[in-house]
Amino acid sequence: MKSRRKPKMKLIKRLIAKITRDKNQDVKDIIHNEEIQTEANQDFTQKLQEEKEKLDHFLDETVELEEKMRLALLEDKINNEKIEVQKKETKELKDVIDTK
């Protein structure tokens, strides 16, 4: 019986060693994949941050342009009102000249 046990024990030891090797390779693969994913996440996070900064810049520019547009329209309105007053005054002066 001892002779049968020794080959079984050797077989069991070889199987355990093979499983351990396979398990170690699986762990290495998982660690490698995790490192790749971590690097990809870091790249994505950096790109996302850059895009957020671009968006913030565009939003700031949009606010600035909208304010400039509002002021330009207000100035245009004021100028148009002044032009109307000047037209009226010019017409009145012309009428005065024509009556003399």
Rounded to whole angstroms, the Cα distance separating 62 from 79 reads: 25
* pLDDT value for 4: 55
CA-wise closest residue to 28 among 17, 14, 15, 36: 36
Least-confidence region, from 23-27, 80-84, 89-93: 23-27
* pLDDT value for 5: 60
Name the pTM for this structure: 0.55
